[in-house]
Amino acid sequence: MRHFPIFLDLRDRPVLLLGAGEALEAKAALLASAGARPRHAARFTPGLLEGIALACAAGAPEEDLRALSEACRARGIPVNVVDRPELCGFITPAIVDRDPITIAIGSGGAAPVLARMIRQRIEALLSPGLGRVAALAGRFQAALRARLPDLAARRRFLDGVLTGTPAALAEAGREAEAEAAFHAALAAAEVAPPGMVHLVGAGPGAADLLTLRALRLLGEADVVVHDRLVAPEVLAMARRDARRIDVGKAVGHHSIPQPEINALLIRLAREGLRVVRLKGGDPFVFGRGGEEKEALEAAGVACAVVPGITAALACAAGAGLPLTHRDCARSLLLLTGHTREGRLEVDFASLTRPGQTIAVYMGLATMPALFEGFVAAGGSPSWPAALVEAGGTARQRVLRGPFSEVVRQARGWITEGPALLILGEACARTAA
């Protein structure tokens, strides 16, 4: 972030407005609506800053604008000079007002027109009665803390009530009925609701490839237990104050053994927390989601699975490769390249069957052994292949060619991973 978003309480506090013109008048009206007491001046003198909480300027001589900016910065007073970002200590965002809910949209001064366009879209999405919903929750703050002293329990209760009947009544202006419905819901609320684990697929890394359900759960989670391959952009979708626990595994290094991860998920859920176990791709495709689900169920912990876009789908789509095609690929095989006790457990004869596409996960280290076994079983060294690095993200790269050539170049070509190997005639269907 170039600017830190913050909401200032300016009620009954003096603010300086230096200069003249429509732009400054607009600032004055905005500040007055927040309860500030504007002081106007045409020219700048240092004495104007005594007791000032904030300063805005427009339409004043250049030397006054610069002097104001320098003096405010020296005294730690927030200052805004209209259309002069280099002289600003803060910028005024586009605002959506649903008092007491306020939404501010900023562009860092780079594109204020775009910020206003975004504001218009948000205005159209939000009910005019949203502020009444917030005010309803505010009136019950003390009762809510007394009834539900546990923070996680309060959050879970509010997640339900602020999207349920009390909120709908408040939004419609039926405030007495809304209060009665809120009070009834609070009286019936569980003081210590049970925890739950959601095994959530994070997809290939791009935040906009998350499912809507995954996005909602990230916003509700008390704690996010995530793998190494989960992109920072996806983690940023989680609630800001949610705990984040990295249990990621890298090749040859397991930071936390799987049984310990299982135990961690069970413990967190038993504390009454809403846990999102976030996995790259899909939890049930080489993600050990099955093992975790079995452990949770054996411990009596409620769990649910939210699928994600698995690497084969993301890599193929990004590279323009059809995984199935009526002319050459009527089946799809998902294969792990991981070894078990040092052995690559693969039915090589099955790999040589015509009319299929094979997607090999985590196969970079064992690719030479995979190639040797494939050729020994009768497969052609010139079989079309594609190695996709960082598939489904902006960093995606693709190495295409005969299987033998892809194997030869792979080690020197890969930069950071992860990588997925795709084999089959479908790899030759496009030159993209």
The domain that holds 318 is classified in CATH as 3.30.950.10
> Among 187, 120, 180, which residue's Cα sits nearest to residue 148?
187
Could you tell me the pTM of the whole model?
0.78
Give residue 135's identity as a one-letter amino acid code: A
Distance separating alpha carbons of residues 315 and 393, to the nearest angstrom: 9
Tell me, yes or no, whether 156 and 264 share the same domain: no
Q: Are strands 384-389 and 397-402 parallel, antiparallel or unpaired?
A: antiparallel
CB 280 within 8 A of CB 227: yes
The domain that holds 218 is classified in CATH as 3.40.1010.10
- 227 belongs to the catalytic site: yes
Tell me, yes or no, whether 357 and 406 share the same domain: yes
pLDDT of amino acid 194:
87
- Who's near 410: CB < 8 A, 6+ residues apart? 364, 367, 387, 399, 419
Residue 112 placed within a domain: no
- 279 belongs to the catalytic site: no
Tell me, yes or no, whether 174 and 209 share the same domain: no
pLDDT of amino acid 150:
87
Tell me, yes or no, whether 218 and 282 share the same domain: yes
Tell me, yes or no, whether 59 and 21 share the same domain: yes
Tell me, yes or no, whether 167 and 231 share the same domain: no
> Among 336, 254, 333, 221, which residue's Cα sits nearest to residue 287?
336
Residue 378 placed within a domain: yes
Distance separating alpha carbons of residues 82 and 410, to the nearest angstrom: 54
Tell me, yes or no, whether 167 and 202 share the same domain: no
pLDDT by residue for the chain (432 residues), tens only, comes to 788 999 999 999 999 999 999 999 999 999 999 999 999 999 999 999 999 999 999 999 999 999 999 999 999 999 999 999 899 999 989 999 999 999 999 988 788 899 999 999 999 999 999 999 999 999 999 999 999 998 888 988 999 999 999 999 999 999 999 999 999 999 999 888 889 999 999 999 899 999 999 999 999 999 999 998 898 999 999 999 999 999 986 555 556 899 999 999 999 999 999 999 999 999 999 989 999 999 999 999 999 999 999 999 999 998 999 999 998 999 999 999 987 777 788 999 999 999 999 999 999 999 999 999 999 999 999 999 999 999 888 889 999 999 999 999 999 999 987 899 999 998 887 644
User: Which of these three, 283, 309, 335, is where a domain ends?
Assistant: 309
Residue 114 placed within a domain: no
Q: In what order do the strands lie in the sheet with 397-402?
A: 331-336, 356-361, 419-423, 384-389, 397-402
Residue 119 placed within a domain: no
Tell me, yes or no, whether 359 and 390 share the same domain: yes
| Plot region of 245 (φ>0 → left; ψ -120 to 50 → alpha; else → beta) | beta
Tell me, yes or no, whether 317 and 406 share the same domain: yes
- Who's near 330: CB < 8 A, 6+ residues apart? 324, 355, 356
Report whether the peptide linkage leading into residue 204 is cis, meaning its omega lies within 30 degrees of zero. no
Residue 282 placed within a domain: yes
pLDDT of amino acid 18:
98
User: Looking at the DSSP assignment, which residues form a beta bridge with residue 37?
Assistant: 14
pLDDT of amino acid 388:
95
Residue 106 placed within a domain: no
Distance separating alpha carbons of residues 51 and 39, to the nearest angstrom: 11
pLDDT of amino acid 430:
64
Residue 318 placed within a domain: yes
User: Which of these three, 288, 309, 330, is where a domain ends?
Assistant: 309
Q: How many domains does the chain have?
A: 4
Tell me, yes or no, whether 330 and 423 share the same domain: yes
Give residue 139's identity as a one-letter amino acid code: R
Torsion angle defined by CA atoms of residues 306, 312, 317 and 321, in that order, rounded to the nearest 10 degrees: -160
Tell me the three-class secondary structure of 213-266, residue by residue.
HHHHHHHHCCEEEECCCCCHHHHCCCCCCCEEEECCEECCEECCCHHHHHHHHH
Tell me, yes or no, whether 278 and 357 share the same domain: no
Q: Are strands 243-246 and 223-226 parallel, antiparallel or unpaired?
A: parallel
pLDDT of amino acid 431:
47
User: Which of these three, 71, 92, 113, is where a domain ends?
Assistant: 92
* 8-state DSSP, 378: T
Residue 220 placed within a domain: yes
Residue 388 lies in domain: 312-428
Q: Helix, strand, or coil here: 39?
A: strand
Tell me, yes or no, whether 350 and 423 share the same domain: yes
* 8-state DSSP, 355: S
Active-site pick, 227, 279, 282, 293:
227
pLDDT of amino acid 193:
80
